Amino acid sequence: MHTIEITKRESRHLRGRLYEDVFLSRDTGVAEDSRQLLKFFGMYQQQDRDVKKQLGRKTPYTFMIRVATAAGVLTSEQYLTLDTLSRDLAQAQMRLTTRQAVQIHGVTKTRLASFVTRLTEMNLTSLAGCGDVVRNLVACPLPDHQGDRDRLRAIALQLSRHLRPKTHAYLELFVDREKVFDIVEEESLYGEQYLPRKFKIGMTIAGDNCVDIYSHDLGLVYHPSTEMWTLLVGGGLGQSHGLPKTHALLAKPLGQIPMQMITKTVEAVISIQRDFGNRNDRRFARMKYLVETWGLDRFRTAVEERTGMLFEPSVELEWEKATDHLVNEDPSILGVKLPHGRIQDSHALAIRTVVESLRPVIHITPQQNILLTGLNSEAKAEAIKILRMYGVKPPQELSPFHRYALACPALPTCTLALAESERVVDHVVDTIESCWAHVGLSPLDLRIRMTGCPNNCARPFLAEVGLVGASPGRYHIYAGGSARGTRLARLIAERVSIEDLEEVLLPIFRQYRATRRKDELFGDWFARCDIAPLQVGQKMKEV
């Protein structure tokens, strides 16, 4: 059994030695077992790797807190609370994630309890922001005035509350600040050891793949016309460099279920992963490997046995080109593009001013942006005016390359980052867009994503061009993902420096321009051509 499994089993529902490590120890950090348990509370121990490299010695630990905002919905009061917390107790900035959560970096250990107490007062939580449980539940963010999308989001919020760990340790430790000896709660879903690994759920409406539904352990696709749900199981994009048996997988359709069976079926899928997922090697602990090993038929049978219900046959899913919903026809919604999810400086001032004066409801998108909702025509005009005053451009005025690009935070805070991502992605996008224009492909757009390591938080394997950090300054380059989010990209070059991107991509872009079919997108063309890495290198020389 993996060491972390023993830590979880002996933690008394995540309590462990957290009381001693957080409240009694003078050290700025916590011991390894406590570090692992704190993740279940959405708290990551971090160091500034820039400072550490510069000083050449140990630097103080701080914590990133991930607030689990299910389906990405925040009231104006909740948003302003997070904004205030980021300035009072952290680094005066927030970062929105691709899972519609809010991350705040730089919280010292002595401020964790104050931070959580303020969250709790506003009906917010960081519980299950990380850890081996169901993570922040993702859902299509677009409101539709009590229509099908709003109904789907309401179900997402109910599911999120239902699937949250039942342990009282979070409130005991960080609100009441008590060390508790008598355990009264029961983790009926997660058990004493919780899940073997993190578990991700995405929900959307048929035809709209804004949430990258195939990347989740469990995808739920709602069909309004039939009141049925299609279940997709076994997705996950993380892998390990140099370990070929680890790989990205897209979720596969298990079948359809009626509306009234949604909660029971989701619980059954989670319980199967709990009981049969790999607890010996965390690199193979995600549910995608269980589904791959068992096969869909065996997995379906197991779910049917636990629910007492047979699945209806799957229907073919058809998707429009994925959108960020920033531009839409609803006059009550204003989309705001953020620089890779980072809310700081002028963006922070602009959004704070809008929220304070106009009180919209905020919907975080899976593309790390926000929708300001519930605005009348006058309020929307005023919001646009305020945003422009602070230099925030409407999404319509941005290059599609930059508008749709995604990047993870990576350095200097992420402990897993092998290379830069967020801090260099704009330069990378400029380089790729310049190559694109050079061969005469404008005004066609291209979907680009970038991560600093193969955990792939920004989902580069679904992009038409994806960059994955392999070592400092070098990236594995992937191509051929679908703009609809339905196909994995393939490796075309390894350990490429940013300076050499043009050498890799220009010949491929020339081929695309010369041989593409009418209206054929780059990702679809690349997949059709079936170009292998060595062949790409040969073609580069020929061109």
**Helix, strand, coil percent content, the chain, rounded in steps of 5:** 40, 15, 45
Is this model's pTM higher than 0.85 or not? yes
The pLDDT, as a whole number, for residue 536 is 46
Alpha-carbon distance of 123 to 33, in angstroms, equals: 28
Q: Which of these three, 398, 414, 432, is where a domain ends?
A: 398
The pLDDT, as a whole number, for residue 535 is 45
- In 3D space, the residue among 202, 189, 288 whose CA is nearest the CA of residue 245 turns out to be 288
Query: Is 275 among the domain residues?
Result: no
Alpha-carbon distance of 285 to 205, in angstroms, equals: 29
Cβ proximity of 73 and 362 under 8 Å: yes
Q: Are residues 392 and 488 in the same domain?
A: no
The pLDDT, as a whole number, for residue 50 is 86
Q: Are residues 392 and 411 in the same domain?
A: no
Check which CATH number belongs to the domain holding 417 and give it.
3.30.413.10
Alpha-carbon distance of 136 to 457, in angstroms, equals: 13
Q: Are residues 359 and 434 in the same domain?
A: no
Q: Are residues 387 and 453 in the same domain?
A: no
Q: Which of these three, 398, 422, 443, is where a domain ends?
A: 398
Buried b (16+ CB within 10 A) or exposed e, 266-303: bbbbbbbbbeebbbeebebbbbbbbbbebebeebbebb
Query: Is 295 among the domain residues?
Result: no
Q: Are residues 102 and 58 in the same domain?
A: yes
Cβ proximity of 227 and 211 under 8 Å: no
Report residue 333 as tokens: 């919604």
Q: Which residue has the tokens 């020339």?
A: 510
**Domain range holding 41?**
1-131+169-184
Query: Is 438 among the domain residues?
Result: yes
Q: Are residues 16 and 38 in the same domain?
A: yes
Query: Is 250 among the domain residues?
Result: no
Q: Are residues 497 and 352 in the same domain?
A: no
Q: Are residues 388 and 520 in the same domain?
A: no
Q: Are residues 438 and 536 in the same domain?
A: yes
Q: Are residues 122 and 2 in the same domain?
A: yes
Q: Are residues 61 and 175 in the same domain?
A: yes
Q: Are residues 19 and 126 in the same domain?
A: yes
Cβ proximity of 66 and 44 under 8 Å: yes
The pLDDT, as a whole number, for residue 158 is 97
Q: Which of these three, 371, 398, 425, is where a domain ends?
A: 398
Count of domains for the chain: 3
Query: Is 82 among the domain residues?
Result: yes
The pLDDT, as a whole number, for residue 539 is 45
Query: Is 226 among the domain residues?
Result: no
Query: Is 285 among the domain residues?
Result: no
The tens-digit pLDDT sequence of the chain (543 residues) is 789 999 999 999 999 999 999 999 988 999 999 999 999 999 999 998 888 888 776 788 999 999 999 999 999 999 999 999 999 999 999 999 999 999 999 999 999 999 999 999 999 999 999 999 999 999 999 999 999 999 999 999 999 999 999 999 999 999 998 888 788 899 999 999 999 999 999 999 999 999 999 999 999 999 999 999 999 999 999 999 889 899 999 999 999 999 999 999 999 999 999 999 999 999 999 999 999 999 999 999 999 999 999 999 999 999 999 899 999 889 999 999 999 999 999 999 999 999 999 999 999 999 999 999 999 999 999 999 999 999 999 999 999 999 999 999 999 989 999 999 999 999 999 999 999 999 999 999 999 999 999 999 999 999 999 999 999 999 999 999 999 999 999 999 999 999 999 999 999 999 999 999 999 999 999 999 977 664 444 444 443
The pLDDT, as a whole number, for residue 533 is 65
- Contact partners, residue 6, CB within 8 Å, separation at least 6: none
Check which CATH number belongs to the domain holding 36 and give it.
3.90.480.20
246 phi/psi in degrees, rounded to 5: -85, 135
Look at phi and psi of residue 149 and say left if phi exceeds 0, alpha if psi is from -120 to 50, else beta.
alpha
Query: Is 16 among the domain residues?
Result: yes
Check which CATH number belongs to the domain holding 358 and give it.
3.30.70
The pLDDT, as a whole number, for residue 111 is 97
